Chains A and B, each alone.
Chain A
Amino acid sequence: MITLTHFLIVSACLFCIGLYAVLAKRNAILILIGIEFMINAAILNLVAFGRYDKLVYGGQIFALFAIVLAAAAVAVGLAIILNVYQHYKSINPDDITDLRD
Chain B
Amino acid sequence: MNGLMNISPITSSIIITLLPLLAFIIQALLGKRTQSGFISLIAIVISTILSAFFVFTKIWMNTPQMVDYNWFTIGHHTFTAGILLNNLTALMQLLVCIIALAVHVYSKSYMKGDPGIHRYWMYLSLFCFAMLGLCISKNLLIMYIFWELVGFASYLLIGFWFTKDSAVQANKKAFIVNRIGDLGFLLGLATLYSLYGSLDLTELFALDGLFYNLPNQPTGLLTFSGICFFIGAMAKSAQFPLHVWLPDAMEGPTAVSSLIHAATMVAAGVFLLSSIFPLFNASVLLIITIIGTMTALSAACFALSQRDIKKILAFSTISQLGFMVVAIGIGAWDAGMFHLITHAFFKCLLFLGAGAVIHEMSHLKEINQLDFDPQDINNMGNLRKWMPKTFILMAVASLALAGFPLTSGFLSKDAILIATLEWGIQHGSFYLLVPITLIIVSILTSFYISRLMFKVFFGEFKLTVKKFKLQEASAIMLWPMLFLGIGCLFLLFSWNPLSYQSASIFKGLIVSYQFSEIHALHMLLPVGLTIGSLIAGSVAWNWYIRNKYPLNPQGNKWIEFTFNQGYINEFYSVIFVNGTILFSKGLFWFDRTIIDGLVRFVGEVTKGLASLSSWFDRIIVDGLINKVGSTTYYIGHLLRWAQNGRLQNYLGFAFTLVLIGIIYLILQ
Within 8 A of A (CB), among B636-666: 640, 643-648, 650-652, 655
Q: Which chain A residues lie closer than 8 Å to B646 at the CB level?
A: 93-94, 97
Per-position binary interface string of chain A over residues 19-34, scored 1 when its CB falls under 8 Å from any chain B CB and 0 otherwise: 1001110000001000
Which residue on B lies nearest to A100, using beta carbons? B645
Is A22 touching B644 in the complex (CB atoms < 8 A)? Answer: no
Q: Which chain B residues lie closer than 8 Å to A100 at the CB level?
A: 643-645
Q: Which chain B residues lie closer than 8 Å to A98 at the CB level?
A: 645
CA–CA, A96 to B647, complex, Å?
Answer: 9
Q: Is A101 an interface residue (CB 8 A)?
A: yes
Which residue on B lies nearest to A31, using beta carbons? B648
CB distance from A97 to the nearest CB of B (A): 3
Which residue of the partner chain, among B640, B647, B655, contacts A93 with CB atoms under 8 Å?
B647
Is B648 touching A23 in the complex (CB atoms < 8 A)? Answer: yes
CB distance from A96 to the nearest CB of B (A): 8
Chain B interface category by residue count: 10 to 19
Q: Is A99 an interface residue (CB 8 A)?
A: yes
Q: Which chain B residues lie closer than 8 Å to A22 at the CB level?
A: 648, 651
Per-position binary interface string of chain B over residues 316-342, scored 1 when its CB falls under 8 Å from any chain A CB and 0 otherwise: 000000000000000000000000000
Per-position binary interface string of chain A over residues 79-90, scored 1 when its CB falls under 8 Å from any chain B CB and 0 otherwise: 000000000000
Q: Which chain A residues lie closer than 8 Å to B652 at the CB level?
A: 23
CB distance from B271 to the nearest CB of A (A): 98
CB distance from B657 to the nearest CB of A (A): 14
Which residue of the partner chain, among A23, A24, A31, A97, contacts B645 with CB atoms under 8 Å?
A97
Q: Which chain A residues lie closer than 8 Å to B640 at the CB level?
A: 101
Which residue on B lies nearest to A19, using beta carbons? B655
Which residue on B lies nearest to A25, using beta carbons? B648
Q: Which chain A residues lie closer than 8 Å to B655 at the CB level?
A: 19, 23
CA–CA, A83 to B643, complex, Å?
Answer: 24
CB distance from B649 to the nearest CB of A (A): 9
CB distance from B653 to the nearest CB of A (A): 10
Is B651 touching A99 in the complex (CB atoms < 8 A)? Answer: no
Q: Which chain B residues lie closer than 8 Å to A96 at the CB level?
A: 645, 647
Q: Which chain B residues lie closer than 8 Å to A31 at the CB level?
A: 648
Within 8 A of B (CB), among A54-101: 93-94, 96-101
Q: A19-B655, A101-B640 are in contact. Are A24 and B648 (CB under 8 A)?
A: yes
Is A97 touching B644 in the complex (CB atoms < 8 A)? Answer: yes
CB distance from A45 to the nearest CB of B (A): 16
CA–CA, A23 to B650, complex, Å?
Answer: 9
CB distance from A8 to the nearest CB of B (A): 15
Is A93 touching B648 in the complex (CB atoms < 8 A)? Answer: yes
CA–CA, A57 to B631, complex, Å?
Answer: 61
CA–CA, A94 to B647, complex, Å?
Answer: 8
CB distance from A94 to the nearest CB of B (A): 6
A-B pairs, top 8 by smallest CB distance, nearest first, are A100-B645, A97-B645, A99-B645, A101-B643, A23-B652, A23-B648, A93-B647, A100-B644
Additional pairs, 4, CB under 8 Å, beyond known A22-B651, A23-B648, A24-B648? A19-B655, A96-B647, A99-B650, A101-B643
| A–B Cβ pairs within 8 angstroms, 28 of them | A19-B655, A22-B648, A22-B651, A23-B648, A23-B651, A23-B652, A23-B655, A24-B648, A31-B648, A93-B647, A93-B648, A94-B646, A94-B648, A96-B645, A96-B647, A97-B644, A97-B645, A97-B646, A98-B645, A99-B645, A99-B647, A99-B650, A100-B643, A100-B644, A100-B645, A101-B640, A101-B643, A101-B645
